[in-house]
Amino acid sequence: MDRNIAGVTIQVNEEGYLTNFAQWNTAIGDALAAEADLALTPRHWEVLNYLQTEFKNDSPLSIRKIGKSGVVDIKEFYQLFPTAPLKTASKIAGIPKPASCI
């Protein structure tokens, strides 16, 4: 479905995840973060950039993997994106909801 955010129209799924990463930009990231009551700091952006790089490499993401990434440890990841960090961060980064397996 379409939605308007940060002055542009983007496609999102029922849960609000972008369905086309090409439509993402940093203003959209900031706006999505604001909806989750977050103000993005440079530290948030380092993590978001890492997630996007992994996504572009078709490399599936998990909390475990992020903990071992050297970019951020799990504790800090939770501090940056409280409650369900991988989901929140993926939504802001404009990448699909992590497939949590079967």
Using the minimum distance from each CB to other proteins, give the nearer residue, 27 or 84.
84
CB 6 to other proteins: min, Å: 26
CB 27 to other proteins: min, Å: 27
CB 99 to other proteins: min, Å: 7
Using the minimum distance from each CB to other proteins, give the nearer residue, 25 or 60.
60
Distance between CA 3 and CA 64 in Å, rounded?
32
Structure tokens at 37: 């009551």
By the criterion CB under 8 A, which residues form the site for other proteins? 62-65, 68, 74-75, 77-78, 82-85, 87, 99-102
Distance between CA 3 and CA 52 in Å, rounded?
21
**Residues taking part in catalysis:** 101
- Report DSSP letters for 27-54, one per residue: HHHHHHHHHTT----HHHHHHHHHHHHH
Using the minimum distance from each CB to other proteins, give the nearer residue, 23 or 69.
69
